[in-house]
Amino acid sequence: MDNKELLEKLAMNVVQGRIEAEDEGFDEGLEGQPAVTELVNQALEQGISPSQILLAGLTDPMTMVGEKFEQGEYLIPDMLAAAEAVGAGMDILAPRLLKDGVESKGRFVIATVNGDLHDIGKNIVSIMIKGAGYDVIDLGVDVPAERIVEAVREHNAPYLGLSALLTTTMRNMREVIDQLKEAGLDSTRVCIGGAPTSPEFAAEIGADAHCPDAFAVIDWLKTQTA
């Protein structure tokens, strides 16, 4: 198959959330056909540039996934499956992108704050911004403010994403931002997200942005310069 057809097939498999050939898709009859892992490797073997594979085969189809989610065609598990497929493709591409001199757009530390164990939204954001070309340091869930601040310092990260799904834990975002300021790291740009958060709450605690979903994070990052 030619390069265009191969990239279109790769994009389709991202939308279907298929990582490997044995995976089922949202549509029937795909099991056993090459999926993201096989198609990324095939694209590299055919000499397609890693940056072209990233853009046309992984990043662009996630825009389509976002549209399906916004229109109610996809649920969160569907979007997460597609994001995980992108992550699998990125794991293969990352060394090639570095070899080709495609620089990271910046380091992005992300965490679910202390006391909160929810990670689906955070995981989607993590994979999406990784696919967009950022170096992601995912600290996981239930992360104390001190550890988040230390990670920002250690990695000299210009961006920080904080997630919370509970009204009782979203207040811990303020502690992180306060500690960043105390540590002299207030130049790090902070976005927050999670069901109970809002633009008003972001402003109240001194965050730079409220991003209700992964696509909002990508849009926000496009307006930033590291």
* DSSP H or E run through 96: helix 76-99
Burial code (b: 16+ CB inside 10 Å, e: under 16) for 122-161 equals: bbbbbbbbbbbbbbbbbbebbbbbeebbbbbeeeebbbbb
Helix, strand, coil percent content, the chain, rounded in steps of 5: 55, 10, 35
Angle formed by the axes of helices 76-99 and 36-45, to 10°?
20
pLDDT score of 103: 66
Its pTM stands at 0.72
The list of the chain residues with pLDDT below 70 reads 98, 101-103, 225-226
Task: Please give the domain boundaries of the chain with CATH numbers for all domains.
Answer: 3-99 (1.10.1240.10), 107-222 (3.40.50.280)
115-124 confidence digits (pLDDT tens): 999 887 888 8
Assign residue 142 a region: left if phi > 0, alpha if psi is -120 to 50, beta otherwise? left
Looking only at the bridges linking them, the beta strands covering 209-210 and 189-193 are: parallel
* Rounded CA separation 94/133 (Å): 9
Q: What is the pLDDT of residue 226?
A: 47
| Residues 50/97, Cβ–Cβ less than 8 Å | yes
